Structure 1
Amino acid sequence: MSASTPRRSPKAQERHRDSERSRALILDAATAEFGAHGYAGARVSAIAARAGVNVQLISYYFDGKEGLYQAISRQWQERQAQLAPAGMPLPEQLRRFALEAVHNPDGVRLLAWTGLEYAGSEARPSTDMFAETINELRKRQEAGDLPADLDPACLVVMLMAMTMAPTTLPHVIEGTSGTDPRSPEFLNRFADQVAILARHLGLG
């Protein structure tokens, strides 16, 4: 009888792939959990169950709940840069943000929860992208393309709120349009309407 083949230890490259896969599973599960319950209501045990990993692995990779939340925040900042690259017309940026309810609904819900749970802490989202947009709107004002009595910062807030309406006001949408506010058909139409309105306002 031949001896059984000894178990081979995983190579460094294989361990790295497993590590990256585990981190990705945890991040996806955390985005869903935070999006469903907010930071305060989310449970690390529930995130681990969603990801199919043990709780200790979350501590190992992210140093607990706060570190995991910060990692997701960094992911969202990277996503913002993809949605609104420099030079892209504002109506198209807004259309893309509105379409996140189709492509990344958990991320949009998480952003809404961030606002609901905001208590004036120092942990704030990156404002670099918003600053660029506000400066562009101010330039349009100086050129006479936008009314002088508009506050560019307030306008940006209103526009962002508009793109998130299917997530934050689904009951209003269903009540006014009789449409499922989460259906891809409605969300694509809504995103197009957001861009059309922005163009009619002279924003691009």
Structure 2
Amino acid sequence: MSEAAPRSPRRAPVERQRDPERTKAQLLEAAKAEFGAKGYAAARVSEIAAKAGVNKQLISYYFGGKEGLYNALTATMYDDYVAVADHEKPFAEVVRFFAQSGVRDHDLAKLFLWENLTDGAPDAIGVEGQREFLQRQVEYVRARQAAGDFPADLDPAFLLVIFMAASSAALALPRIVRAVSGQDPQSAEFAEAYGEQLARLVGHLADPGKR
């Protein structure tokens, strides 16, 4: 009786070995759409893999599973947003960016909303990453207050909440946006106009004593 051939170590499917970075990018893009549409709990790795056109085992191979894929996606999002809020950059510019980016990348913006809508749920995810991100945003707003972008009697943390809520209006209140503005809340035209209006509003808050 012949001996059984030794098993080879676990490897990624042959068809994807030659371009792992492309495969990971496809999975992240598909994950953004799936998580954005359904939230973390309802999203399915099989759907993500199907959208990416790859074997679902690759999610475990490259990211360690569903949670690892989600964390990899949100880490990139938070890093990009933190980089935008440089302490030397005027508050109006950052508010404009956030308002416009929420319209231009609906999936990523919806993912951020899902994290808040599922706050306190047993399977809630993204809590630590979001807390760290938000604390750094408060530091940025406080620095801009010291630079005179808005008066000292306004609380930086509450002001951040106010403008984050305002920046999410196109996603959270699409019917109202459509009714009062006559514009498509998902359009580039609305993103440009709305971001500009929020930036002007911030401009009116500038501390006259530091202009």
- Residue 48 of structure 2: aligned partner: 47
Aligned partner of 1:104 in structure 2 is: 105
Provide the residue aligned with 2:138 in structure 1.
131
Task: For residue 172 of structure 1, report the CA deviation from its aligned partner.
Answer: 1.1
Query: Alpha-carbon deviations, 1:20-57, whole Å to 9, x = none?
Result: 00000000000010001111111111100110011100
Determine the structure 2 residue equivalent to 1:151: 155
What CA distance in whole angstroms lies between the structure 1 residues aligned with 2:151 and 2:18?
A: 51
TM-aligned CA deviation for residue 71 of structure 1: 0.5
- What is the total number of aligned residue pairs between the two structures? 187
Please show how residues 24-39 of structure 1 align to structure 2 within 5 Å.
24-39=25-40
Residue of structure 2 in register with 1:9 after alignment:
none
- Tell me, yes or no, if the aligned pair for 2:98 and 2:167 is still in contact at 8 Å: yes
Q: Which amino acid aligns with 2:74?
A: S
Is the Cα–Cα contact under 8 Å of residues 83 and 97 in structure 1 kept in the other structure? no
Does the aligned pair in 2 maintain the 1:91–1:195 contact within 8 Å? yes
Tell me, yes or no, if the aligned pair for 1:91 and 1:198 is still in contact at 8 Å: yes
Q: For the aligned residues, what is the CA RMSD? A: 2.3
TM-score, normalization by structure 2: 0.80
Stretches of structure 2 that go unaligned for 5 or more consecutive residues are: 1-15
Quickly say closer, same or farther: Cα 1:144–1:165, change in 2 above 3 A.
closer
Change (3 A) 1:144 1:169: closer
Q: 1:172 matched to which residue of 2? A: 176
- Alignment of 1:72 with 2:79, yes or no, is no
**More off after superposition, 45-54 vs 178-187:** 178-187
- Calculate the TM-score normalised by the size of structure 1: 0.83
Structure 1, gaps ≥5 residues long: 1-14
